[in-house]
Amino acid sequence: MCVAIPGKIISIDGDTAVVSFGGTEMKANVAMVDAEIGKYVLVHAGCAIEVMAEDQAKELIDLFSELDEIV
C-alpha cells in the first residue's frame, strides 16, 4: 500500500506537475515538495511525497560505503 515510484518532473503548473516514469507521463500533485523541473520525486497515490536526493544508481554505490568494514 505504501508503494511509491520515482519519476522525473517534466513540467509544473501550480500544485500539479507532469512526471515521467520511464517515459510514461502522468500528473502528480506537488504541494508537499519543493518541486523543480528536472528533479526526481517519489510519487505515492497521485502525490509527490519527497524529492529524491540523487539518482538511484549513485545512491546504491554510496549506500555500501556507509557500512562498517568487517573486523
Partner 1 sequence: MNTEEVVRYLKNYDGPEVKLMEVCGTHTASIFKNGIRSLISPRIRLISGPGCPVCVTPTAYIDRCIEFAKEDRHVLYAFGDMLKVPGSKGSLSVAKGEGAKVELMMSALDAVDAAAAHPELMIGIAAVGFETTIPTYAVALARAIEKGLSNLRFVTALKQTFPAIEWICENEQGIDGFICPGHVSVITGSDAFVAFAEKYKRPFVVAGFEGEHLLAVIYEIVRQLEKGEAKAKNLYPNAVRNEGNPKAKALIERYFCAGSAVWRGLGAIPNSGMYLREEYGNFDGGSFGLDDDIKLPRSCRCAEVIVGRINPCDCPMFGKACTPTDPYGPCMVSAEGSCGIWYRNTI
**Alpha carbon 61 to chain centroid, angstroms:** 18
Total residues at interface with partner 1 (CB under 8 A): 29
Task: State the residue for C-alpha cell 540523487.
Answer: 54
For the segment 5-64, give every residue that binds partner 1 (CB under 8 A).
29, 31-33, 42, 44-47, 49-50, 52-54, 56, 59-60, 63-64
Q: What is the closest distance, in whole angstroms, from the C-beta atom of residue 43 to partner 1 in the complex?
A: 9
**DSSP secondary structure, 27-66, as one string:** EEE-TTS---TT-EEEEETTEEEEE-SS-HHHHHHHHHHT
- Residues near partner 1 (CB under 8 A) are 1-4, 29, 31-33, 42, 44-47, 49-50, 52-54, 56, 59-60, 63-70
